[in-house]
Chains A and B, each alone.
Chain A
Amino acid sequence: MRVTIRLFAGLHDLAGAAELAREVPAEATVGTVWAMLVKEFPALAPYASSVSGAVNADYARMTSPVRDGDEVAFLPPVSGGQDEC
């Protein structure tokens, strides 16, 4: 099956693309898609512990299944901000 992968901010830079279409195995999960990406773009590997996933604009766990035609997004940590009271 085929999914659309969207990459944001630093991930987008490291992979050199904001959007990719890829064939993934049936039974694939968000984690499977991430592992395939890291294989293709090893520079993404350091994000393994901080990346968040979303399927069709809804946050998803790495164990969440993906279906044919889904949009799977990978999100690096957000900018944050440290201003105190």
Chain B
Amino acid sequence: MGYTEVMLLPLLHVTSAPLALEPLVRAVTAAGPRDVEDRPGPGAVATFAGLVRDVNLGRRVIRLTYEAHEALALRAFARINREVIERWPSVRLALHHRVGTLEVGEISVAIAAASPHRADAFAACRYTIERVKQIAPIWKREYFEGGDAWIEGATADPDDQAARQEALRRACA
């Protein structure tokens, strides 16, 4: 992938196409306008891939269907990106989430966080997945042996500061 193709890859994305980590890694580590600011380039990239697990709540999972309010999800991703940059100003983040039907083992969410130093990259990556789980308007329907069900959790309130603090705690930040 050349520089131009990397730049065409959106850093924040909701897509029905299969996900991979490598394009995100290239996107967050590519040389770009930031380099003219005389800041250090990336020295570390932490990545996370969330996979469709074969067992959940004691049930054998066959596949999942993810449904998103795409426009709202992208706004949630932009908010998470702002929060990351506020806490770790050196981090460059890519966050992609898949929608549609996924088989066991497929990647549902891919994250890459680049930073001059590994501590910030790891923390930002962990923080990002915790916040995605908290506030992204994306739901999964689980198809398991014997039936199917929407998996629902806590109410998504992006302004809930306690949730944000919990995500920071989990990021060990």
Point out residues on A near B: beta carbons under 8 Å.
6, 8-10, 12-13, 50, 52, 54, 57-59, 73, 75-81, 84-85
10 nearest CB pairs, A to B: A80-B153, A9-B139, A57-B71, A81-B133, A10-B150, A77-B152, A78-B156, A9-B150, A79-B151, A77-B155
Q: A8-B137, A85-B172 are in contact. Are A78 and B72 (CB under 8 A)?
A: no
Question: How far is it, in angstroms, between the C-alpha of A84 and the C-alpha of B130 when the chains are bound?
Answer: 10
B138 contacts across to A, CB distance below 8 A: 78-79
B156 touches A75 (CB 8 A): yes
Contact string, B136-173, partner A, CB cutoff 8 A, digits 1/0? Answer: 11111100000000111111111000000000011010
B153 with A52: CB separation less than 8 A = no
Contact A80 B154 (CB under 8 A): yes
- Central interface residue in B130, B133, B155, by most chain A CB within 10 Å: B155
Number of interface residues of B (CB under 8 A): 27
Complex contact A8–B139 (CB within 8 A): yes
Provide the residues of chain B in CB contact with A57, threshold 8 Å. Answer: 69, 71-72, 75
Distance in Å: Cβ of B81 to nearest Cβ of chain A? 17
Q: Is B54 an interface residue (CB 8 A)?
A: no
In the assembly, what is the distance between CA of A6 and CA of B71, in Å?
Answer: 12
Give the contacting residue for B133; candidates A8, A12, A54, A79; CB below 8 A: A79
A28 to B101, CA, bound (A): 36
